[in-house]
Amino acid sequence: MTLKNLLILGVFLAVLYNLGAALYYMSTNQSRSGRTVRSLSWRIGLSVGLIAMVVVGILAGVIEPHGIRAGR
């Protein structure tokens, strides 16, 4: 794996971790502490950052997108 793939995978795993943490905090009835909101806020921020990172990578030519070819 290349460094770009590891970076994208790492951010994606951080997004999943924060989603799981928010679910845990909600299910253990600790929602009053604000930890659920904080975890979900981190998830949103990381998701936006990941999308921006992929777009910048495509525009810079580091990531080469490929489409599905119809009719082949």
Average pLDDT over residues 3-15: 93
pLDDT at 23 over 70: yes
Q: What is the pLDDT of residue 1?
A: 77
Could you give the count of Cα atoms lying within 13 Å of 19 in the half-sphere of its Cβ?
9
pLDDT at 43 over 60: yes
What is the spatial distance between Cα 61 and Cα 69, in angstroms, rounded to a whole number? 21
